A and B are shown apart, each in its own frame.
Chain A
């Protein structure tokens, strides 16, 4: 499962399309024909070389068969079937890895996103952005069970990552393929895609998009994800946002841990001064515990620096790409 450089193996060699529409799907047999028709209707008039990539994430219903019969009649459609259900993020990574377009648009298969919004996303992207995130303007979901947790989570994610994204849960996004190939996509990290793209130096824009209530099937998410999001956020904060300087972060934590240690020490001395002969074991033991934690955190920081060092020199993909915003294109080059 883990293999060196697997994410680039056999991919990226044949980027011969302008646009790839990547749709991860799990048990969406009912919505497929509608989805396909809507995408074609939205994208075909653009007059670009495009492909539609359905990623069947180990569906147990007839999704794969339905997708294949659609692919038989549409040369633009490709179907990638995964051996087992791996979850939305790895499925999306599979789609991005197999996409042949310079620009990639991702959306959900459940028809909650409207493919008619794709041209608008592409317009904004063409104005010099690397990543355009949709946000669902009028969500058609129950308030308490879906929208409230989502609002809380989005606020939290924005505050922690420092990337003010209104709707991290919206899958409708458009981005430059070469940028996103540099972003590690694993576990459930697609929720934090904008934050993950920040170290790559992405220019991010947001656009309100339409949202439809679910017509077929059931939602695959519930309330319990808030808890997971909390630990994920800690990860994002530690690994992504401050990935460049892990030692300084741990050093700060070590300093914070030594403060109660100093307080305990002061307390111990005060007890010793005011009650001669009284036991001062507890305060001094507390102080030494906090100091040992402080040392532990410093060592952790050093360890992280060690792990991180071999990768520190990696150049973000934005810096590597030759495509700047059209405004900066030299005169004489057609947009």
Chain B
């Protein structure tokens, strides 16, 4: 939150298709020329001899580069997590290994970090055809609804944040893509920054990109995580109670028919539905209760607050 500039770490996960790393590094370095304390962490996702050779050459030329090579290709957010874990700077900037964004926007990002903890990045124009843009819009309005903050693109490949944020939020895996949302919910300062898409558009949509099924599941997982991890029964309870209530009402109605109208129940499959709903309702509530017991058991280790400062 303080305005002073301290060490900057640039994390570049190198996976999938990548362009000319030496040229890319030169571009990145050029736009961040005024940074005095800077380190680059390149994470090679598995064996990539070509990239490794290029990076080694840069390293020998005196560039402040660390190369982290993963034992096998992990994909997803693993290279990213490893890179952030291995970096040391107080500010962390994650950049793609392809010229997907216009590097002219990077100084803008760093300036945004001066007064805030996280930059919420959107990339315009959205690459791809109309269908992709449509899914993109739907997904982001849903994210806005569920998470209460719709200003950032998800899975854009660029992140900028202060280290305290990841240390406190305990982010791992694909949750990293939701960093601006989570940070906003935890009271960190988030500023929106708009970047221009770069020379090379982002590759074809991956399953994990905004609008895909995987991204949707990630979104729901994060929503659940934010709202109900401390009180699972508040999520499961109403669902279970609703199912149970519906089943109970149905069964009572059928029992009434039997008692007062003499309708035979043994060949009324509707009764089965009633009983099924009751059973389902009890099961859902029981699951919620198990969740509560797990939370309670670990509650002594849970800290739900973050102290900003202490005076006196």
Q: Which residues of A contact B271 (CB under 8 A)?
A: 282, 286
B301 touches A4 (CB 8 A): yes
- Judge whether A296 and B311 touch: CB under 8 Å: no
Residues 215-234 (chain A) with a chain B CB within 8 angstroms: 228, 231-232, 234
**In the assembled complex, how far is the CB of residue B262 from the closest CB belonging to chain A, in whole angstroms?**
14
B276 at the interface (CB under 8 A from A): yes
Does A308 reach chain B (CB closer than 8 Å)? yes
B289 to chain A, nearest CB (A): 5
A residues in contact with B302, CB < 8 Å: 1-2, 6-7, 184, 186
Contact assessment for B301 and A3 in the assembled complex, using a CB-CB cutoff below 8 Å = yes
Binds B, one of A38-46, A127-135, A159-167, A287-295: A287-295
Is B305 interfacial (CB 8 A cutoff)?
yes
Contact of A308 among B272, B297, B299, B300 (CB under 8 A): B297
Contact A289 B292 (CB under 8 A): no
Per-position 1/0 for B4-15, Cβ under 8 A of A? 000000000000
Inter-chain CB contacts under 8 Å: number: 175
Interface of chain B residues 255 through 312 with chain A (CB within 8 A): 265-269, 271-272, 275-276, 279, 282-283, 285-287, 289-290, 292-297, 299-312
Q: How far, in Å, is B163 (CB) from chain A's closest CB?
A: 15
* Cα distance A75–B275 in the bound complex, in angstroms: 65
The answer to whether the Cβ of A279 comes within 8 Å of any Cβ in the partner chain is yes
**Chain A 233-258 against B: per-residue CB contact (8 Å), 1 yes, 0 no?**
01100111001001000100100010
Cβ of B305 and Cβ of A91 under 8 Å apart?
yes
Given A81, A93, A257, which contacts B282 in the complex, CB threshold below 8 Å?
A: A257
Q: Which of A188-223 contact B (CB under 8 A)?
A: none
Given B238, B285, B296, B304, which contacts A93 in the complex, CB threshold below 8 Å?
B304
Q: Which residues of B contact A176 (CB under 8 A)?
A: none
Instruction: Give the interface SS of chain B, mostly helix, strand, loop or mixed.
Output: helix
For B234, give its contact among A67, A186, A231, A239 (CB under 8 Å). Answer: A231
A30 within 8 A of B: no
Interfacial chain A residues near B311, Cβ < 8 Å: 67-68, 71, 78-79, 81
Q: Which residues of B contact A235 (CB under 8 A)?
A: 231, 233, 289, 292, 296
Give chain A residues whose Cβ lies under 8 Å from the Cβ of B269: 281-282
Q: Say yes or no: is B237 at the interface (Cβ < 8 Å to chain A).
A: yes
Within the complex, what minimum Cβ distance (angstroms) separates B171 from chain A? 10
Pick the most buried of B287, B292, B310: most chain A CB atoms within 10 A of its CB: B292
- Closest residue of B by beta carbon distance from A286: B275
**Interface pair A186/B299, CB less than 8 Å apart:** yes
Q: Please determine whether B272 and A286 come into contact, CB atoms closer than 8 angstroms.
A: yes
Instruction: Please state if B279 and A290 are interface contacts (CB–CB under 8 Å).
Output: yes
Q: Do A7 and B169 touch (CB < 8 A)?
A: no
Task: Report how far A308 CA is from B289 CA in the complex, Å.
Answer: 13
Contacts of A285 in B (CB 8 A): 272, 275
Within 8 A of B (CB), among A68-120: 68, 71, 75, 77-87, 89-91, 93-94, 97-98
A292 in complex: contacting residue of B230, B279, B286, CB < 8 Å: B279
Is A303 on the interface with B (CB-CB < 8 A)?
yes
B187 is an interface residue with CB less than 8 A from chain A: yes
> B213-237: which residues lie under 8 A (CB-CB) from chain A?
230-231, 233-234, 237
Whether A1 pairs with B308 at a CB distance below 8 angstroms is no
For residue B283, which residues in chain A have a CB less than 8 angstroms away from its CB?
A: 293, 296
Residues of A within 8 A of B307 (CB): 80-83, 94, 98
Give chain B interface residues in 153-195, CB to chain A under 8 Å. 168-170, 186-188
Bound-complex Cα distance A257 to B278 (A): 10
Interchain nearest-CB distance for B84 vs A (Å): 17
Chain B residue with minimal CB distance to A303? Answer: B290
Residues of B within 8 A of A308 (CB): 293, 297
Residues of A within 8 A of B237 (CB): 231, 234
| A271 lies within 8 A of chain B by Cβ | yes
Asked, given contacts A228-B234, A300-B290, whether A82 binds B305 with beta carbons under 8 Å apart, the answer is yes
Let me know if B279 and A1 touch, CB within 8 A. Answer: no
A262 at the B interface (CB under 8 A): no
A332 CA to B186 CA in the complex, in Å? 53
Judged by a CB distance under 8 angstroms, whether A311 is at the interface is yes
Q: Which of A77, A93, A271 contacts B312 (CB 8 A)?
A: A77
The answer on a CB contact under 8 Å between B279 and A186 is: no
Q: Does A12 contact B (CB under 8 A)?
A: no
The residues of A that contact B301 with a CB separation of less than 8 Å are 2-7
Nearest 6 Cβ contacts at the A-B interface: A84-B187, A184-B299, A6-B303, A90-B304, A239-B296, A78-B312
Provide 10 A-B residue pairs closer than 8 Å at the C-beta atoms, listed in order of the A residue.
A1-B168, A3-B303, A78-B311, A83-B188, A85-B187, A186-B302, A231-B231, A243-B297, A271-B266, A289-B279
Contacts A81-B311, A186-B302, A303-B290 given; 7 further ones with Cβ under 8 A?
A: A78-B310, A186-B230, A186-B295, A187-B230, A239-B297, A286-B275, A289-B275
